[in-house]
Structure 1
Amino acid sequence: MWIFGWKGQSGFSARSTAEEVTEGIDAAGLTAIVTGATSGIGVDTTRVLALRGAHVVMAVRNVEAGKKLKESILKEIPSAKIDVIQLELSSMASVRKFATEYIDSCLPLNILINNAGIMAPPFSLSPDGIELQFATNHVGHFLLTHLLLDTMKKTARESNREGRIVIVSSDGHKFAYSEGIRFDKINNEAEYNCYRAYGQSKVANILHAKELARRLKEEGVNIMANSLHPGEIATNLGRNNGLLNAISNSFIKYLLKTSSQGAATQIYVALHPQVKGVSGEFFKNSNISETGTAPAQDEELAKQLWDFSMKLINT
């Protein structure tokens, strides 16, 4: 149970905060993108990356909220380097616009943290006609990673520093449909279950990281890709679901992780020297963990998802 703070091999536990897992780490000279930077654990991820010296690009839906967070962080950390660029992950046009703007800026890219997500909303389709959770949690991040990969490869090559792609999944992947990914029923409203569809998108996050890691290793590229479960956190992730929103605002919130504890694992995977050379793994509480379900470990399903996703983003 997380509240007991049992430490894993890394020396950290579920109670560790983002500040604690990065203590003594100098991220100066690194440039990182954080999606969903103005909400939940994205806020602490952005702040601690800046605190450790990284140049952080906040990829956010609400630019005004991004600017306010930037101002807040600069008051605390006057030396922080932060930029704000608009990104709506559910729209492939927006993802392409963001990527073009980023590439045109000529900034390097050492770390990509695919943090943003939505959870268990009523059935709806994205602007591209894809079930909203799958579109936002997986397809948007898949496309973003695809478009920025050459920039990351160039940065890793020229800087001689390992690049890291961090994909935020969830233990919620265990509640996915039995097939893991329902390729032929992604947009089937009649059989839609908001919780299982969320789980499906989280399985996709894990499989994306695994297949990307395999391909990068095969190519001999110095970029690592990993996925993670941040923990049960008191955030507004369930804002689109009345039941989840009520639970997260009840007494149960006192049993959940704080935002800083929730951000710890992705910050650990993004920055810690212990993760150097580690790729294709699933992390929990700042330690490598088993996913625990067959679909999330299925290499053939990962390859099938890759091909399916490529077709989606190329249409």
Structure 2
Amino acid sequence: MSNEKGNAMSDEKENPWGLKTDSNRTSNPGFNRETTATEVASTFSNVVRGKTVIVVGVSPKSLGESITLAFAANSPQLLVLASRTMSKIKAVATKVKEQYPNVQLQLVEVDLSSFASIREAATEINNLVDEIDILVNNAGVVVTDPRTTKDGLELQFGTNHIGIFLLTNLLMPKILEAAQKSQSKGSTRIINMTSAGHLISPIRFSDYNFKKRPEEIPEDERPMSRPGASFDPPPGKTYVPFVAYGQSKTGNILMALSISQKLASEGVRSIATHPGSIWTDMSRNLDEEHRNIIEKTGDFWKNQDQGGATTLVAALDPKLAEDKDIIYLADCQVAGCAPWASDPKAAARLWELSEEIVGQKFDLGQASNL
């Protein structure tokens, strides 16, 4: 996917997606696109030790697997693995137990395209844990044809953003419990896996289900446009899969922004991460045409362990607790993102829309009432 350049920062380096990164704002300026999740977790092993960690989106040959193994190697108190298919969760759990037999695991099924499933899973998780130190929202889908969730939402927006939004907020009391007990303010983390694909589209507040043509929605809700690249649908159509995906990934960043703004004083930090160019099991729904498009977007393709590294930095680096304005990382460093993904007004608007869609208010300004 073609990407626009992100916001400017000091001492910048530009990564392959055109996003400016700033290595002055993390503990390890030497971490880069080749760094592995294993290396990051080992560097911050003292941060992992004794923590309760939830990884959402766990299956073989996925970033969830590499992230889980990196945490497991460093003695967490409990790892909760949540995903849509129990057989796939069990396959990863077996691999964890083979390598780290002393790690305590709990396995939970959750379908992020179903509000009922999310609520059931949240209840189960809340009954399993006393607190949640780190929540990694790694799960997501990418499709090439119009599909809807069980609740009638466009599938990618409904799963990748709304599903994550609902699950996270239902787990928030246990997250706040961890923050209150923590001796290191800002070490309680909520990490959302996003993508440089967010550069394709802002949130289509007037048409998040893709029922309208681009010319029928406000200018500031339309996908990016540049010479030689168009994200407009064919005549007579309204759905563009990569625009839908981009919208959902923008949602992941805006949600992180909202949480950090609302809960910084409570000691909770939320950061969105771009894993880089990597083939995982998530690409199983892509047809040949769209796979070919994606193949042309990266000049450095990561393996699974490298793909999980940035998320581990976001979850564990103590220095990131110091700056609540950090909302997005790429290649293991703080990075700029599209202006529509770093706009506090858009974040507040999306939070309200998300509450309306799930039919429940989450007033994080009154966190003790959650």
When the two structures are superposed, what TM-score results if normalisation uses the length of structure 1? 0.90
* 1:234 and 1:253 in contact (8 A); partners too: no
Q: Which residue of 2 aligns with 1:181?
A: 203
Q: Does the Cα contact within 8 Å between 1:28 and 1:53 map onto a contact in 2?
A: yes
Deviation at 1:236, TM superposition (A): 2.5
The answer for the alignment partner of 1:273 in structure 2 is 318
Residue 145 of structure 1 pairs with residue 145 of structure 2 = no
1:240 aligns with 2:262: no
Cα distance change of structure 1 residues 305 and 250 upon mapping to structure 2, 3 Å threshold? closer
Unpaired segments ≥5 residues, structure 1: none
User: Hey, what does 2:82 align to over in structure 1?
Assistant: 59
Could you say if the C-alpha distance between residues 200 and 33 of structure 1 is closer, same or farther in structure 2, counting changes exceeding 3 Å? same
Q: Distance in 2 between matches of 1:150 and 1:244?
A: 44
**Which secondary structure state, in structure 2, belongs to the residue aligned with residue 127 of structure 1?**
coil
Contact 2:147-2:155 at 8 Å conserved across structures: yes
> Pairwise mapping of residues 155-194 of structure 1 onto structure 2 (< 5 A)?
155-161=178-184, 162-176=187-201, 180-189=202-211, 190-194=237-241
1:73-126 deviation line (CA, Å, top 9, x unaligned):
111112222211001111111111011011122432100001011123311110
After superposition, the CA RMSD in angstroms is: 2.3
2:262 to 209, 212, 215: 215
The C-alpha deviation readout for 1:142-181, integer Å capped at 9, x for no partner, is 00111111111112212434310001110001111xxx11
From 28, 33, 42, give the equivalent of 1:23.
42
C-alpha contact (below 8 Å) 2:37/2:309 kept by paired residues: yes
Distance in 2, matches of 1:234 and 1:117, equals 14
- Identity between Structure 1 and Structure 2 (%): 31
What letter matches 1:59 in structure 2?
A
Seen in structure 2, the aligned counterparts of structure 1 residues 259 and 248 have a Cα distance that, compared at 3 Å, is farther
1:94 aligns with 2:117: yes
Q: Return the letter of the residue paired with 1:208.
A: M
- One-letter amino acid matched to 1:43: E
Instruction: Answer whether contact 1:235 1:248 (CA < 8 A) is retained.
Output: no
Q: Is 1:289 matched up with 2:335? A: yes
Query: Offset of 1:214 from its aligned partner?
Result: 0.6
1:277–1:95 distance in 2 versus 1, CA, 3 Å: farther
Amino acid at match of 1:41: L
> Please, which of 107, 114, 120 is the counterpart of residue 143 of structure 2?
120
Separation (CA, whole Å) in 2 of partners of 1:166 and 1:141: 11
Which residue does 2:305 correspond to in 1? 260
CA contact (8 A) 2:22 2:335 kept: no
Q: Which residue of 1 aligns with 2:155?
A: 132
Distance verdict in 2 for CA 1:152–1:252, change over 3 Å: closer
C-alpha distance in 1 between matches for 2:111 and 2:63: 18
Offset, 1:8? 3.7
| Greater Cα radius of gyration, structure 1 or 2 | 2
Q: Give the counterpart of 1:41 among 63, 67, 72.
A: 63
> Residues of 1 paired with 2:69 and 2:203: CA distance?
34
